[in-house]
Structure 1
Amino acid sequence: MISPAHPSAVTFTHPPAVVPTHPPAVVPTHPPAVVPTHPPARLTTHHSCPPCADVRSWLLAHDRACATPARRADVTTFGLDWLFRYFAWGPNPWPLAWCDIPTTRTLDCGVLACLAAELLTERGLRVDRVQLVERAAPEETTLWRARWRTAGYPHDWILSDHEVYHEALLVHVTPAPVLFDPTEASPVTRPLWMRRGERWETCL
């Protein structure tokens, strides 16, 4: 996987942050020490693999079929909520190839960000992959740890009882870029830190 080039500064818009049920006692001034250093997730394309090409072609064709006049102005869901008719959020193995998607029961935030970026780029939008540290409540992180553990996959994306690693998109639209969460099909609401390229920057 290749890390994207270091971006220039940009101003983005998102709704006010949602305060979790049990917020940290102190507002952090540095990202967590265990924050991932790897670049955003990438789907593998097998060489000369017709199923890989078929899955990508089906996604693009279905997105075109779901286009409506109102979608052009939609900077909340970007018309990507149709993905949830076919895919559910949850743990999946890595690495993952395009041809694995139809037989994978659930897809994590990295895969969903890959799919959404592919679709929005095909529509002609400029999209940046971003990595986040988000707020979470202990009730959430306890549930997610158990779910990943039951599936037999690492849960190191859960950084603490109050913080989780997440992958999202920065979609460049007018009048300002939108920090978009493909896992929720909505703008990001709980960011603490964001990385595009090499450097983590605070969102507070």
Structure 2
Amino acid sequence: MRRTRVRFAPSPTGPLHMGGVRTALYNYLYAKQNGGDFIIRIEDTDSNRFVPGAEAYIIESLKWCGIIPDEGVDENGKVVETPSEKHPHAPYRQSQRRGIYRKYAEQLIENGYAYYAFDTAEELEQARAEAESKGETFIYNHTTRGKLRNSLTISEEEVKRLLEERNDWTVRFKMPESTTVKMDDLIRGHIEVDSSTLDDKVLWKRADELPTYHLANIVDDHL
């Protein structure tokens, strides 16, 4: 049987709030009850909302609450950056794992599950405005991606040129069309979601060479 491993993954965008404390406590107690490990992971991929000092404040707050991680943070309260026997999956700060996420983003593209998007902020704003003028809501999905500038609609030569010349492109998930996603949740029970209602989420951004939550969270949980 695999050893129980649970994680609390705060974003350093501000102080730790009570909802975060509750989530950390539930994970910590679950790990201890099952003889497993409680891991801290810092999800600092939102560079626009990053708050200096928030990471240290969060870790110190957890310590004050008696919630001590088994992995991810050392005895001095510092996020571990170098792998060791006790911390084999370091670094535990997502901004230091860029290469890992880029590899998986490219793997998704190669397998047809994602694509490069070259739309500028102005072009996307224009698309939203046009949709609103018709009383519609713009969604970047299977109904609109074919009309926008991405690697699904332009030539390979153009894709290569834009990848080299531009620094504002993104990688988007290619959401399947008309697929019912089914899952059984421990709390909510059986859930079904129509993929047609979901958008093509941005997974990776060239501007800061960072993944979004949608990619980094899944990759780290998988690894």
Q: Common fold, TM-score beyond 0.5? A: no
The alignment's TM-score, normalised by the length of structure 2, stands at 0.24
More helix by share: 2
Which TM-score applies when normalising by structure 1? 0.26
Which one has the largest radius of gyration?
Answer: 2
Highest relative contact order (Cα 8 Å, sep 6+), 1 or 2?
1
